[in-house]
Amino acid sequence: MKLYSYYRSSASYRLRIALKLKGIAYDYHAVNLLQAEQRCDAYLAINPLGLVPTLILDDGARLTQSSAIIEYLEETHPEPALLPENPLARARVRSLVNAVACEIQPLCNSGVTEHLKKVMGVSDAGIGEWYERWMPRGFVAVEEMLETASTAFATGDAPGMADIFLVPQVYNARRFNLDMAPYPNITRVVDACNELPAFIEAAPEQQPDAPSS
Amino acid sequence: MKLYSYYRSSASYRLRIALKLKGIAYDYHAVNLLQAEQRCDAYLAINPLGLVPTLILDDGARLTQSSAIIEYLEETHPEPALLPENPLARARVRSLVNAVACEIQPLCNSGVTEHLKKVMGVSDAGIGEWYERWMPRGFVAVEEMLETASTAFATGDAPGMADIFLVPQVYNARRFNLDMAPYPNITRVVDACNELPAFIEAAPEQQPDAPSS
């Protein structure tokens, strides 16, 4: 498989974790978002939304949208499972996934903040307020959903789809200095994940396109 | 089942279509977003993100996030199917779903535009530009994905999960006067859906909380 990824894209990061947890090998193709490579014709032919990640299967099939791709991997490579078996438990995991994927990430990504800054003239302080408005909203809900659980990871005793979405979002929140003190359960779960090889190997700083520090 | 819904919320509208297609009866509970009922303590106890829809099952279990709920309905009420059987085909449907649910709707909903207007002082013209920036992006990608299909509906000869997400987004786009001329395939599919009883009954103007015209 070929993975088109940017080291710091949280959607790419999610998919890298899923691939690592499933033990699926892939070739890494970097798409430099800072140099707008995602809007070049060559990449738009691969992914018409101009977004990372894209996963190209061995037969050439092209998959887009991280949640859709991870559900595909779960269906075609069921072990280890990233979703529980019970439909109600699956709904709970997917609700956590979507709290991140539909409520936080779409508003707190570089495409949106660049638009706010460059097109709408929003100041750096205004961008900070934007993050403060939209990041905590999703985290508050996720924290409440995690409070009732006493599991090592978000939804069980092994990492699953909810963890895959939470870890990159918390990485992003920390990068923007969001105070994580109000979210002890999220912090506990994410820190547990970050001890595991799959999460360590999928981390932004471990990718071939990460700048050497 | 009990459905907490607002007549004009596109996420509520998606779930209403899915329930109607599956033939699942429900009691309708209106949550008036214009009067901020979604942020009252009573509703936050039901849905901690303060979002509609919420579906309460007969045993009291509480489901949130429209995609997660529709996947649950698909798993527990498999007929008629809203997703195809083949994993690659399922990934294609979910990619269309997420192009709407993660790329368009989170940026083009009333919570975000109210924040832009009231907190950030963005003018009405600026809101118009915001819609023009974010709505077409997702539609262009969806249109391209639909171009290769010659099916009556988005992903097959019966309406499925992609149609369920497209119809409310196009309803919203038309409400904000987005020019749909560049999207003939989306328009064709949505118009075909809107001829069907499930889509007609789920439409905003048919809901108990819609203002009488």
B67, B140, B144 member nearest A98 (Cβ): B67
Distance CA A93, CA B67 (A): 11
Please give the residue of chain B at the shortest CA–CA distance from A49: B141
Distance of alpha carbon A76 from its chain centroid, rounded?
20
Average pLDDT, rounded, for chain B: 94
- Separation of alpha carbons B140 and A136, rounded Å: 31
Residue B213 within any structural domain of the chain: no
Per-residue pLDDT at B71 exceeds 90: yes
Q: Does residue B205 fall inside a structural domain?
A: no
B117 and B66 within one domain: no
Are B69 and B104 members of one domain? no
Identify all chain A residues contacting B51, using CB atoms and an 8 Å cutoff.
103
**Statement to judge: residues A142 and A188 lie in one domain:** yes
In-domain check, residue A48: yes
- Say if residue A98 is in the same domain as residue A192: yes
Q: Quick one: which of B78, B34, B26 has its CA closest to B210?
A: B34
Cα–Cα dist A192/A121, whole Å:
40
| Contacting B residues, span 132-191, partner chain A, CB-CB under 8 Å | 133, 137-138, 140-141, 144-145
Q: Is A39 on the interface with B (CB under 8 A)?
A: no
Residue B101: inside a domain: yes
B71 to A90: CB separation less than 8 angstroms, yes or no: yes
* A49 in reach of chain B (CB within 8 A): yes
Residues B19 and B115 reside in one and the same domain: no
The answer to whether residues B61 and B107 belong to one domain is no
The answer, for A115 touching chain B at a CB cutoff of 8 Å, is yes
Q: Cβ contacts (< 8 Å) between A71 and chain B: which residues?
A: 90-91, 94
Q: Which residue has the higher pLDDT, B73 or A147?
A: B73
Q: How far apart are CA B17 and CA B135, in angstroms?
A: 22
Indicate whether B91 and B193 sit together in one domain: yes
Which helix or strand (DSSP H or E) is residue B145 part of? helix B124-147
Cα separation of B191 and B196, whole Å?
9
pLDDT at B149 > cutoff 80: no
**Residue in B with minimal Cα distance to A66:** B95
The dihedral through the CA atoms of B75, B80, B84, B85 has a sign that is: positive
Q: Do both A72 and A103 map to the same domain?
A: no
Ordered DSSP codes for A65-112 = SHHHHHHHHHHHS-SS-SS-SSHHHHHHHHHHHHIIIIIITTTSSHHH
Identify from A70, A71, A108 which residue to disrupt to test chain B contact, counting B C-beta atoms within 10 A and taking the largest count: A71
Query: CATH code at A137?
Result: 1.20.1050.10
Last residue of a domain, which of B29, B53, B80? B80
Closest partner residue to A72 (CB to CB) among B91, B101, B115 is B91
- Domain of residue A102: give its range: 87-198
Asked if B73 is an interface residue toward chain A (Cβ–Cβ < 8 A), one would say no
> Distance, in angstroms, between A152 CA and closest chain B CA?
22
CA–CA separation, B106 vs B97, rounded Å? 13
CB pair distance less than 8 Å for B99 and A49: yes
Note down pLDDT in tens along chain A; length 213 residues.
999 999 999 999 999 999 999 999 999 999 999 898 998 999 998 988 889 999 999 999 999 999 999 999 999 999 999 999 999 999 999 999 999 999 999 999 888 998 999 999 999 999 989 998 999 888 988 998 898 777 999 999 999 999 999 999 999 999 988 999 999 999 999 999 999 999 999 999 999 999 986
Nearest to A115 among B88, B97, B133 (CB): B133
B7 in a structural domain: yes
Radius of gyration of chain B measured on its C-alpha atoms: 17
Using a CB-CB distance cutoff of 8 angstroms, which residues of chain A are in contact with residue B48?
Answer: 140-141, 144-145
Same domain, B57 and B107: no
Res B14: pLDDT: 98
Do A20 and A45 belong together in one domain? yes
**For residue B7, what is the domain's CATH number?**
3.40.30.10
Residue among B61, B67, B107 minimizing CB distance to A106: B107
Q: How many domains does chain B have?
A: 2
Residue B151 placed within a domain = yes
Residue of A103, A3, A101 whose CA lies nearest to A52: A3
Residue with the larger pLDDT of the pair B44 and B160: B160
Domain termination residue (choose one: B59, B80, B101)? B80
Question: What residues contact A188, with CB distance under 8 A and at least 6 apart?
Answer: none
Tell whether ipTM is more than 0.90: yes
Give the gap in angstroms from C-alpha A91 to the nearest C-alpha of chain B: 5
**Same-domain check for residues B182 and B134:** yes
Q: Is residue A204 part of a domain?
A: no
Least CB–CB distance from A68: residue in B65, B91, B138: B91
Partner B contacted by A83 (CB < 8 A): no
Lookup: tokens for B30? 């209106």
Residues B44 and B96 in one domain: no
ω into residue B53 within 30 of 0, thus cis?
Answer: yes
pLDDT digits (tens, 9 = 90+) for B54-65: 999 999 999 999
Interchain CB contact of A36 with B (< 8 Å): no
Choosing from B57, B80, B103, the residue where a domain stops is B80
Q: Is position B29 within any domain?
A: yes
